[in-house]
Structure 1
Amino acid sequence: MDLSELLNSPMGQSIVRSVAGQLGMNENEALGVVNMAVPAILAGMTRNVQSPDGAVSLNNALESKHDGSLLDNLSSMLGGHTQELQQDGNGILNHVFGNNLTGIEQGISKKSGISMNKIGPLLAILAPIVMAYLGKQKRQTNTGAGGLGDLLGGLLGGAQQKKSGGIMDILGSALDKDGDGNPLNDILGGFLGGR
């Protein structure tokens, strides 16, 4: 299953509805932001697993806390325990994006027209869900630390991989490849056709 299948699945629609309700957005706004945020999180993880330490760190997280079990009771988590999700998500986002997190949030805010004070919590809610989904895929495919880059690339869509290195060409050595202060357009340009 790739990312678009996840986002269009009943689970993806449930995530969008829940996020929209909690953050006071309509479902179309929430869907637009989720469709930008999830690839950004996966792209950040893909960049991190290019280093052996990053791959081992992500692999350890996926084998322990983020093994996919969150998805089994996601509706109850989204129904009332989002503070716990957000707390976990903030840690994940800081690990994945570091100092670039604010730039990612600003980029999504600018592209979506949704205020920053909603983007941060939305990303924080999504991050543990993305990790759980990745953990579940890792278990199903029996992937080790060395295969996480390929697994992430598959989630982002195999089509991105063909021709000239795919995802890593898009990400480059840093998130903000063109130095414009908005790393999001560099990450998402290839995934979303420049939307």
Structure 2
Amino acid sequence: MTLNDELLAGLGDAGLEQIAGMLGTDTLTAGKVVEAVSGTIIGGMARNAEHPDGADALRGALDDHMDADPFNGDVASLTRDGHSILGHVLGGQGTEQAAAGLSQLAGVSYGTVMKLLPLIAPMVMSLLANRAAARDMDAGAVADDLNREQSSMPGGLGDLLGSLLGDIFGGAVPRQGGPYVDPYRTEQEVAPDTSRTVPPASRGVAPGTSHPDR
């Protein structure tokens, strides 16, 4: 099962319906948009993990996401964590480039993609963290796993995301000039207005196991 398969299973029908409402589309299209968004995040992580220090930083950051439950929780906290993750994985400008490219690819608004990216990022991190712990994966194994995830993407989507990531990274591994000191944990005050991120009903983005408000 790929990370995207696990992501869709974690979201469940209710989560996809909420994302479809956010995108203004149906659940089938929402699932495809989620796949493209998660593929971009996974691809960005894979690019970072090409650098040994980046792989080590990612592996350390995964430990901090072991006990997290991004499928049920506060949207504002989830979004802050997501922006922190995206800030390292893609960078601020790279995140904007990704949103613009995904907007054109999926036929949804740029602003909506910018709201969806930080919601999906912590989910991907949590799923990867659980996988790494279950399989006792070191930094190198995590990097290899991310490469396999990239290879498993459908051909057409994989090619499009590869081109998008190539534009963002320019064929180079990011952050070449400085050390990686747990950058995934860095809090960034760059979150958008979270009151408009998703409808109020989606405090649990993907209910199915627990409901914190009940």
Fold equivalence (TM over 0.5): yes
Which residue of the other structure, out of 68, 71, 77, is the alignment partner of 1:70?
68
Cα separation, 2, equivalents of 1:15 and 1:31:
10
SS of equivalent residue, structure 1 residue 60: helix
Matching residue of 1:26: 26
**Does 1:84 pair with 2:80?**
no
1:142-174, Cα deviation, whole Å (9 max, x unpaired): 0011211112133345589xxxxxx9xx859x7
The CA distance in 1 between the partners of 2:153 and 2:76, in whole Å, is 36
Aligned match for 1:175, one of 156, 166, 170:
166
- 1:119 is matched with 113
CA gap 1:113/1:171 in 2 versus in 1, 3 angstroms: closer
CA apart distance, 1:35 = 1.4
Letter in 1 for 2:106: S
Q: Distance in 1 between matches of 2:12 and 2:48?
A: 25
CA distance in 1, matches of 2:21, 2:162: 32
| Count of residue pairs the alignment pairs up | 163
Taking a change above 3 Å as real, the CA distance of residues 4 and 128 of structure 1, as seen in their structure-2 partners, is closer
RCO comparison, higher one (Cα < 8 Å, 6+): 2
Matched with 2:90 is: 97
Structure 2 unaligned residues grouped into runs of 5+: 171-214
2:134 partner amino acid: Q
2:177 equivalent in structure 1: none
Quote the offset at 1:39 in angstroms: 0.8
Indicate the RMSD between aligned Cα atoms, in angstroms.
Answer: 2.9
Tell whether the 8 Å contact from 1:106 to 1:116 is kept in structure 2 after alignment: yes
2:29 partner SS? helix
Unmatched tracts of structure 1, length 5 or more: 161-166, 180-195
> Which amino acid in 1 is paired with 2:137?
T
Identity over aligned residues, as a percent? Answer: 30
Distance in 2 between the 1:12 and 1:156 partners?
23
12 and 151 in structure 1: CA distance in 2 versus 1, 3 angstrom threshold: farther
- Residues in 2 aligned to 1:19 and 1:61: alpha-carbon distance in whole angstroms: 27
- Kept in 1: contact 2:56–2:139 (CA 8 A): yes
Structure 2 vs 1, CA of residues 10 and 128 (structure 1 numbering), >3 Å: closer, same or farther? Answer: closer
Letter of the 1:90 counterpart: H
- 1:128-147 alignment, distance < 5 Å: 128-147=122-141
Q: Distance in 1 between matches of 2:153 and 2:121?
A: 24
Aligned to 1:50: 50
Q: 1:149 to 1:61 in 2, by over 3 A?
A: same
Moved over 4 A (4+): 22-25, 157-160
Q: Normalized against structure 1, the TM-score is what?
A: 0.72
Check the 8 A contact 2:23/2:108 in 1, yes or no.
no
After the TM superposition, which of the residue ranges 107-116 and 10-19 deviates more from structure 2?
Answer: 10-19
Q: Is the 8 A contact 2:79 2:118 kept in 1?
A: yes
1:154 corresponds to: 148
